[in-house]
A and B are shown apart, each in its own frame.
Chain A
Amino acid sequence: MPSRTASQDFLKGLWQENPIFRQMLGMCPTLAVSNAVINGVAMGLATAFVLIFSSFLISLIKKLIPNQVRIACYVVIIATFVTIADRFLAAFFPPISKSLGPFVPLIVVNCIILGRAEAFASKNSPGRSVIDALGMSAGFILALLILSSIREVLGSGTFLGYKIMGAWFEPWVIMVLPPGAFITLGILMAISLQLERKKREK
């Protein structure tokens, strides 16, 4: 269903076309950095920065780029913003930069960004592209927030580093390890599909 209004452009990223639960894009950073809420949110914000600015710029210069070299141009533009985000984090938030490690540079190959550039920004006005990017970023951050909250609370007994579970709680170490990411994501995806099916039956 093509979106028509600005609010539709924004809202579809949150649920209908949520990059994680619906489009299943950007799985690599999602699975890798969602072991703690702070990492998930930082990754979400860094991706949002790259997505919003690259969508805007690509939409702005879409007519100048010959079709044959568009992907190469998109990648250079995206990589530029990713490098800015990476340097910025290293300069001002060294602990976050350290814990995200190689996953900040890897935003370059995050399919959400290239996907939105190709599917939306290259066909729509800069204004709509920014709104679309904002919606997709919000959807991505939301998904990462849910995933990382579940994993951090169950896997470490903390939320944003603060202990919230009592002394009786034995952390489920598997939740902060890669298998925990797959299990949690699978369950969340099943829930979201079930909700969608219920909605359609009505």
Chain B
Amino acid sequence: MNLSSRMVIVLTAVGLLSGGFLASVGILTKDRIALNKKMEIERAIVSVVPGSVASVTLYEEKDFIVYGGKNEAGDLQGFAIYTSGVGFQDKIVLMIGADASLSRLNALAVLDQKETPGLGAKIVDRTSFLVYWENKDFSQPFSLRKPPAPSPDSLTASEVNTITGATISSEAVLNIVNAAREKVKALREEGKLAPGGTHAE
């Protein structure tokens, strides 16, 4: 057998074997990876909508999903908004929890971010950032307090803290939340957030 046909045969064989092997690995792990993603979303919904144990998807478009958090009886406890926006380095993905009348923001959860470690990445930390986003007024746009207030009590209901040294990351979260707020309110006006309309608020 001459050299070039040997090269072709060996490379093809290695490629085919590897491809076949990877296809089976892909099939074996696919469901579990999808389940992990789903569970992460579900956990985030339950954490930002107090009293909820399950969720329904009420509205969905690319990178913007509104979930309804429900208690055991199936009553709507509030909305969880999955949304994202540009951070300092990459996309920030948030889950925003609001009550059923969209007048109060319960809490935020950060699902994904690649902000600077030690600075912007503090947006995932409860004590230095997320606690300032709990129980806020959802009826008007949020604004940043800079320099940051020493405790959550010294902020007004629509003010949130800036992380020192990470203004851009703090602003990014603020803008994502404000944009999502506008959007979810508009959707509600249009009557797009009622799932079959059976569950009272």
Chain A residues close to B by CB (< 8 Å):
35, 64-66, 68-69, 72-73, 76-77, 79-80, 83-84, 87-88, 90-92, 94, 98, 101, 155-156, 171, 173, 176-177
- Please tell me if the beta carbons of A66 and B3 are within 8 angstroms of each other in the complex: yes
User: CA A91 – CA B112 in complex, angstroms?
Assistant: 17
Q: Verify B29–A173 contact, CB threshold 8 A.
A: no
B11 neighbours in A (Cβ, 8 Å): 69, 72-73, 76
Interface residues in B92-122 by Cβ distance below 8 A to A read 112, 114, 116-119
Determine how close the nearest CB of chain B comes to the CB of A54; give it in whole angstroms. Answer: 11
Number of A-B contacts (CB under 8 A): 61
Which residue of B15, B40, B118 contacts A177 across the interface (Cβ within 8 Å)? B118
> Which residues, 18 to 33 on B, are CB-close (under 8 Å) to A?
18, 21-22, 25-26, 29, 32-33
Given A80-B22, A90-B33, A98-B112, the answer on whether A64 and B10 have CB atoms closer than 8 Å is: yes
Q: Does B36 contact A (CB under 8 A)?
A: yes
Report how many residues on chain B are interfacial, defined by Cβ distance under 8 Å: 24
A177 near B117 with CB under 8 A, answer: yes
Q: How far is the CB of A135 from chain B (nearest CB, A)?
A: 26
Among A65, A91, A156, max chain B CB count under 10 A is at A91
Q: Do B10 and A69 touch (CB < 8 A)?
A: yes
Cross-chain pairs A/B with CB under 8 angstroms, 21 sampled: A64-B10, A66-B3, A66-B7, A68-B3, A68-B7, A73-B14, A76-B11, A76-B14, A76-B18, A77-B14, A77-B18, A83-B22, A87-B25, A87-B29, A92-B32, A98-B112, A101-B114, A155-B117, A171-B118, A173-B165, A177-B116
Contact at A155–B118, with CB atoms within 8 Å?
Answer: yes
A90-B33, A90-B36 known; A66-B117 Cβ under 8 A: no
Within the assembled complex, what's the spacing in Å between the Cα atoms of A171 and B11?
A: 51
Give B residues with C-beta under 8 Å from A. 3, 6-7, 10-11, 14-15, 18, 21-22, 25-26, 29, 32-33, 36, 40, 112, 114, 116-119, 165
CB distance from A53 to the nearest CB of B (A): 12
Q: When A77-B18, A87-B25 are in contact, do A94 and B114 touch as well, CB less than 8 Å?
A: no
Interface hub of B18, B21, B26, B117 (most chain A Cβ within 10 A): B117
Chain B residues lying within 8 Å of A66, measured Cβ to Cβ, are 3, 6-7, 10
B25-A84 in contact (CB<8A): yes
Q: How far is the CA of A185 from the CA of B36 in the complex (A)?
A: 35
- Contact: B22 with A84, CB < 8 Å? yes
Q: Which of B6, B14, B32 has most A Cβ within 10 Å?
A: B14
Question: How far is it, in angstroms, between the C-alpha of A80 and the C-alpha of B14 when the chains are bound?
Answer: 10
Q: Please, which residues of chain B bring their CB within 8 A of the CB of A79?
A: 18
